[in-house]
């Protein structure tokens, strides 16, 4: 048990659908992250939240919309995605965002866009 | 910017063999972490190395941080199928993971 849960674990959606990915951390951390992991590519950082405020947005297309209602929950809202957006989406949390903080990952959501 | 390189990118071995994977950079890091990611799961932290020259052991896994804190290695003794996974070595707190080494251990 990593203390970070993600739902759903698998998601198949069409390009016109709207769906949301959910992440919850039970570790009392203040920072949460979304990563994208595609085949044959390194983990790509998408968004960073610290105390519910977005502190980093790595040039992610607007069809991905994050939401952090509190320090324990993080959502990634998806709309009009493309097939190339198919990937494993990983959520992580850490005590803070400083360089000394270790990240703890959830199991990921395997997304397939048809 | 490529902060670090891992090698080999792919490694396929038989159960019982020994192996070493490497993490190299031209930059100096205060610390490095090693993660293992099993298929369909998120990365799990194995160890953090902090001091130049440091060696840490985790059962059959031996992690070493280079004296100059620019590189690190992971040696696995008598590999088992359960060691199969993607091994990543991000610098602590840098949020950059690199391509990793995909290890497959066959029974």
Q: Is the pLDDT assigned to residue B82 strictly greater than 60?
A: yes
Q: Is the pLDDT assigned to residue B26 strictly greater than 90?
A: no
Sheet holding B61-65, edge to edge: B5-7, B19-24, B71-76, B61-65, B55-58
Name the band, by pLDDT with cuts 50, 70 and 90, for residue A53: confident
Quote the distance between the C-alpha of residue A38 and its chain's center: 13
| CB-based contact, B9 to chain A, within 8 Å | no
Name the band, by pLDDT with cuts 50, 70 and 90, for residue B1: very low
| Residues contacting residue B58 through CB under 8 Å, at least 6 positions apart | B46, B47
* B65/B71 Cα distance (integer angstroms): 6
Q: Is the pLDDT assigned to residue A6 strictly greater than 70?
A: yes
B23-28: long-range contacts, CB 8 A cutoff, minimum separation 24: B23/B71, B23/B72, B23/B73, B23/B74, B23/B89, B23/B98, B24/B70, B24/B71, B25/B70, B25/B71, B25/B91, B26/B70, B27/B3, B27/B70, B28/B68, B28/B69, B28/B70
* A35/A29 Cα distance (integer angstroms): 17
Name the band, by pLDDT with cuts 50, 70 and 90, for residue A113: very high
pLDDT (tens digit, 9 = 90+) per residue, A55-107? Answer: 877 789 999 999 999 999 999 999 999 999 999 999 999 998 876 778 899 99
Nearest to B48 among A102, A104, A105 (CB): A102
Q: Shortest Cα distance from A79 to chain B (angstroms)?
A: 24
Give which of B88, B78, B82, B69 is closest to B28, Cα–Cα: B69
Are A92 and B100 a contacting pair at CB < 8 A? no
């Amino acid at each position: 048990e990593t203390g970070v849960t993600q739902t759903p674990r698998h998601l198949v959606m069409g390009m016109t659908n709207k769906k949301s990915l959910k992440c919850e951390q039970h570790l009392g951390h203040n920072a949460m992250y979304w990563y994208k992991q595609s085949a044959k590519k390194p983990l790509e950082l998408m968004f960073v939240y610290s105390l519910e405020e977005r502190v980093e947005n790595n040039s992610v297309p607007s069809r991905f919309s994050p939401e952090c209602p509190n320090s324990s929950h993080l959502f990634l809202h998806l709309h009009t995605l493309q097939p190339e957006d198919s990937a494993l989406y990983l959520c992580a949390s850490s005590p803070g965002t400083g360089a000394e903080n270790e990240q703890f990952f959830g199991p990921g959501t395997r997304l397939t866009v048809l | 910017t490529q902060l670090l390189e891992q090698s080999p990118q792919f490694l396929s071995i038989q159960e019982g063999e020994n192996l070493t994977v490497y993490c190299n950079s031209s930059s100096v890091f205060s610390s490095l972490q090693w993660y293992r990611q099993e298929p369909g799961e998120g990365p799990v932290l194995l160890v953090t190395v902090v001091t130049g020259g440091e060696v840490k052991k985790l059962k059959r896994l031996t992690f070493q941080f280079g004296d100059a804190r620019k590189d690190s290695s992971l040696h696995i003794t008598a590999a088992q199928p359960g060691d199969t996974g993607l091994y990543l070595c991000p610098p602590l707190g840098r949020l950059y993971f690199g391509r990793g080494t995909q290890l497959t251990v066959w029974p």
